[in-house]
Structure 1
Amino acid sequence: MIDTIRPGQVYRSCDPRGGPRIRIRNYTPGQTHALVVDAATGKRFRQILVTRLHVSPTTRDGRQRRTGYVLEAGQ
C-alpha cells in the first residue's frame, strides 16, 4: 500500500537473484516517486516508482513476487 511508505523504511529486492536493499529517504504522500538510497551505505540516491514498493512478498493469487521491493519485517 502506498499509504504505508515512510522515510527510514527498508525494502529488500523481490528478484530471485537478489539485489540491493533500499531505504526510503524522502516521500510525499500522493507523489508517484519516492527518493531512495542504498540501505547499507546511504549513497546512490535515486527515484523509484511507488508502485514498485510492496508490503507483502506475495501477489494477490499467492505467488511469490519476482519484481519490485518488499518491506522488511518489523518496519
Structure 2
Amino acid sequence: MTHAVQPGQIYRSLGDPYPYREPRRIKVVGKPVTTPGLYGFGKVQVVTVTGTGREIRQRRIELSQLHATDTTETGAKRRTGYALETA
C-alpha cells in the first residue's frame, strides 16, 4: 500500500517501546526525495516529537519505514516502522 508522505504528518513507532517510557512519534519536516540520482534518494527528513510536543533529533529515514496503517495487506500487525497517526 503506497501513500503520499507530506511535511507535517505525524507517525508513531510500531515496535516495542522499550527502552522508552512512551511510544516514539516522529514528524515529517521535509519533502521526500524521490528523484533518482539526488542525494538522499528514497529518504525523508523527520524529527522526534516528545510527549510535550517538542521537536528533537532531526534526521533522514527511509520512505519504506513509513506506513499508512499498522497492518499489512494480509491483515497481520506490523512490528517495525512507523504508522501514520496524523495526516
* Post-superposition offset of 1:28: 3.2
TM-score, normalised relative to structure 2: 0.74
Note if 1:51 corresponds to 2:55: no
* Post-superposition offset of 1:29: 5.2
Q: Which has the higher helix share?
A: 1
Instruction: Give distance in 2, aligned partners of 1:27 and 1:68.
Output: 19
Q: Which runs of 5+ in 1 are unaligned?
A: none
Greater Cα radius of gyration, structure 1 or 2: 2
Work out the number of aligned pairs and report it. Answer: 72
* Post-superposition offset of 1:63: 0.4
TM-score, normalised relative to structure 1: 0.85
Q: Which runs of 5+ in 2 are unaligned?
A: 18-22, 35-40
* Post-superposition offset of 1:58: 0.4
CA RMSD of aligned residues (A): 1.5
Q: Identity percentage over the alignment?
A: 35
Number of the residue aligned with 1:26? 30
